[in-house]
Amino acid sequence: MSLFDDDFFSTKVSGKVKRRWQERETGTGWTLGKTTQSGRRWSTVQVAIVSSVISALSAVILYSWIVGTGSVTQPVAINRTGTVDPYDRIVTVADKVGPAVVSIVNEQKRVAAEADEEKDTNLGSGVIIKRDDGKAFILTNEHVVQGADKLEVVLSNGQRKNAELIGKDRVMDIAVLLIDDAGVSTVAEIGDSRRLRLGETVVAIGNPLGLGGSLTAGIVSYTNRLIPVSLNQDGVYDWEQRVIQTDAAINEGNSGGALVNLQGQVIGINTMKIATTGVEGLGFAIPTNEVMTVVDEIMKTGKVIRPYLGVYTVDLTNPYAPITEEQRNDLKLPQDVKNGVIVLEATGPAKKAGLKLNDVIVRFDNETIGQTRDLRKYLYEKKKVGETMEVHFYREGKLMMTTVQLEDKPQQAG
């Protein structure tokens, strides 16, 4: 007797039911409890096994179809032992992008004490981003080419070429060079830096310390960090640079090189300008989605058109160069004025509008200006060349206002 007595749970089939199935069967083939034309009898267990196999195969086929119609997956690398090697994806990236990364040599003339001419040589990196009509365009950092009397590019195959500077932008720290494309085999693919995820594996390729073609790997430590920078290298933080933070090693000479995702797409331009000496595990790259807008403008016009006010300033509350109580008294500011920027020099549009030494700017139009970087951000992000702007400032303790017509920013202006 079975554990369950009812027909629903019983594993046995009664003779009455078996005969009824056999009487209904008129065709060939098989049924449960019936002998086929070949003389074989199919049991319940056999039917269950066949059904399970068919169901499993159907599930595999359906899953493969769903995955195949979703996102494109990267091929899985198998090493010689037949096991999956995750680091082979980095090898694939290096093979794809490495030939598009170049070394840049910046030669600058200087006069020695004996009046003999000598040369200073600075090294950096660059990325080939376009080929057109026998020419190749290279993206790098502005500080890599700064002050150069001669620029030379070294391809990954060792071939050396003279380079021409097409244009540069100190604010974004971007420059574009031009060489002939003889010997150029690869153009880098530009990816979407907005799709980066925290913890994603990235690879840095460049020319650290003159060791061309070097590769380091790490993760994205932060996808969208704002870092204060001093554009004039004078200790005054007058801009905020949006960067990708990574723990991939980025050393001197890596500047201008490529930060690459595992799809072999360049998603950042490495920079050492805002790094601190002696700090490990903190590398920075300028996101390509910000970079390429500037690059397109440089390649069209040779420069980036930005509105220009014409003031050299220092923050009223600059922690690195704080003003003394005596200096504040000389400004005759009301006690409730805690933030603003002090005008040290006025040229161009600012001078035409009447701004002068020791004026303390506190507002543009209806926007409060507390620091120099607020001043630049308002100008570069909210105003255009040719527009007018109200400047509110204190002079000799009195709040005043003047209207400035913004001009095109000269290339050498701060």
Catalytic (active-site) positions: 143, 173, 255
Give dist(CA 303, CA 323) in Å, integer.
36
User: Cβ of 141: how many Cβ atoms within 10 Å?
Assistant: 26
Question: Which residues, listed in sequence order, are joined to residue 368 by a DSSP beta bridge?
Answer: 363
- With a CB cutoff of 8 Å and minimum separation 6, the contacts of 279 are none
Q: Are 350 and 404 in contact (CB under 8 A)?
A: yes
In this structure, what token pair is assigned to residue 88? 């082979």
Give Cα separations from 29 to 35, 37, 42, 47, 110 (angstroms): 9, 7, 10, 14, 98
Sign of CA dihedral 148, 154, 155, 161: positive
Environment class of residue 200 by beta-carbon count within 10 Å: exposed (0-12), middle (13-18) or buried (19+)? middle
In this structure, what token pair is assigned to residue 167? 């244009």
CA angle 252, 125, 275 (to 5 degrees): 35
Give Cα separations from 61 to 104, 105, 403 (angstroms): 52, 56, 71
